[in-house]
Amino acid sequence: MADIAGLYLDPPERALVLCVDEKSQIQALNRTQPALPMWPGLPARMTHDYTRHGTTSLFAALEVASGKVHGRCFKRHTHLEFIAFLESLARRYPQQQLHLICDNYGTHKHPAVRHWLTAHRRFHFHFTPTSASWLNLVERWFALITGQAIRRGSFDSVRRLERSIMRWLAHWNHHAKPFRWTKSAADIKRSLANVTAIYETRH
């Protein structure tokens, strides 16, 4: 936790910090009836039943300094797709040292990924503690794109879903602002200790 908070609060000089993760199994759901638009005195309405048209997985890397996001969609989310995404990061940032914040998902620690890293010394992985994915700022961005572009949409194919995702991503990058991390590891530990103390007194 101290390692991750340190990267946010005091990033290394001449290096880029990226928050990386994948949002897997995003379903292309098509509502059975067209959505009804907002009307004076009535909110926008849509049916709760739908048909499924396949899934996609969104891999994303959030630049901590700028808030911009590099994303790619894949049919699957295995170590092979993760390596392909790392390759795209290597092309996007050809010269810089890259510090990647990831969770402990097995794909990120696959032997093939570790082998790839031995040939790409510019990449440095930093793993969040177990059950602490909230430390990864890209999760905050995933919540935004889910609420604004995915959950309320209606898609009759995976291709339309992916196009909608990439349009929203392009719009985000045009107006990108960074998320500001303010708490040190010591602050977080104190907050967790207070929550634990309250929980123990109630039980």
How far, rounded to the nearest angstrom, does the alpha carbon of residue 126 sit from its chain's CA centroid? Answer: 15
Q: Does domain 2-34+47-202 have CATH number 3.40.50.300?
A: no
- Where are the chain's structural domains? 2-34+47-202
Partners of 145 in the β-ladder: none
Q: How far apart are CA 85 and CA 7, in angstroms?
A: 22
Q: Tell whether pTM > 0.85.
A: no
pLDDT by residue, tens only, the chain of 203 residues: 899 999 999 999 889 999 999 999 999 887 655 554 555 765 555 556 567 778 999 999 999 999 999 999 999 999 999 999 999 999 999 989 999 999 999 999 999 999 999 999 999 999 999 888 889 999 999 999 999 988 877 888 999 999 999 999 999 999 999 998 887 878 777 777 665 555 455 65
Q: Which residues contact 202 (CB under 8 A, 6 or more apart)?
A: none
